[in-house]
Amino acid sequence: MSLSLRKFAAAALAAAISFGAAAEQTLKVGTEPTFPPFEYIDDQDKSNVIGFDIDIINAIAKAEGFKVEIVKMPFDGLIPALLTSQLDAAIAGMTITEEREKKVDFTAPYYDSGLSAVILKENAEKFKKLADLKNSRICGQIGNTGIDFAKKLSGNVAAFNTNPEAFLELRAKGCDAVITDKPVNEFFLRSQKEGLYAEIPEFAEVAQFGIAVKKGNDEVLKALNEGFDKLRKSGEYDKIYSKWFHSGN
Ligand code: GLN
């Protein structure tokens, strides 16, 4: 190997080992873009994914000096894609759970969430509390904490690829409720002008979202946590938060 080639190989190796050492590395970040306001397809430009999570990961990348390539995939494909190193990270409103922590590492929590249920308004008298859904048919998204919770309430649970499909099933009266993260349910309610839906006024299972990386990928985890810390300190996090959660979104 010539000296210059050897130098090149050494530099490439160093870059591969020490994430962030070389400028402008690109991190492949997976998401599932049917989860507004966290991630969803931009109406103005269908090739673009927008949302709170996307702003957070881009701001972290800017603070840490790397680039982000957003990769769209089904929610239940994200962890397998991390495990097989097809992704460097996943940001998808993903709740930090003990089960998932056996497979992936999470950054420090970046958002406090929890579950709620959307029902048809015409059933608001029947379903006043989550416990009233006992033995009802509940819909949600595959691989989701909402589905796990639904199974505790009822033996009659249907899991769809996406939440929008679950909401369509509710509208068609194929199920009595959709259970998912409360901010996602509330975004959905605000986007519906016909007034067909209501939310059961109860908050279940407080949860926190984290960005996931393959277990042991400490370089990327450290860069994400450091970047997130910078956003907290600079006030950037608060700006992004109010853009998505205090402006009618
Ligand atoms: N927070 C829920 C979970 O982690 C839903 C995530 C999602 O559907 N994007 O399972």
Same domain, residue pair 96 and 9: yes
Q: Is the dihedral of CA 147, 114, 162, 117 positive or negative?
A: positive
Q: How far is the CA of 145 from the centre of ligand 1 (A)?
A: 6
How far is CA 151 from its chain centroid? 21
**Ligand 1 close to Cβ of residue 205 (< 6 A):** no
Neighbours of 240 (CB within 10 A): 19
The answer to whether 69 touches 237, Cβ cutoff 8 Å, is no
Q: Is 94 a pocket residue for ligand 1 (Cβ < 6 Å)?
A: yes
Do residues 148 and 83 both lie within one domain?
Answer: no
Paired with 28 in beta bridges are 69
| Predicted confidence (pLDDT) at residue 10 exceeds the cutoff of 80 | no
Task: List the CATH number of the domain containing 87.
Answer: 3.40.190.10
Residues 64-77 have a mean pLDDT of: 96
Is the model more confident about 23 or about 100? 100
CB of 93 sitting under 6 A from ligand 1: yes
Look at ligand 1, atom 7, and give the residue with the nearest C-alpha: 93
Is the minimum distance from the CB of 32 to ligand 1 under 6 angstroms?
Answer: yes
In this structure, the answer to whether residues 7 and 106 fall within a common structural domain is yes
What's the domain range around 201? 114-207
pLDDT of residue 153: 95
Residues 12 and 106 in one domain: yes
Q: Is residue 82 domain-shared with residue 162, that is, in the same domain?
A: no
pLDDT, tens digit, for every residue of 108-140? 999 999 999 999 999 999 999 999 999 899 999
Question: At residue 15, does pLDDT exceed 60?
Answer: no
51 and 73 share one domain? yes
Tell which atom from ligand 1 comes closest to the C-alpha of 38. Answer: 9
Residues 82 and 100 in one domain: yes
Total number of domains in the chain: 2
- Please give the model's pTM, rounded to 2 decimal places: 0.89
134, 173: one domain: yes
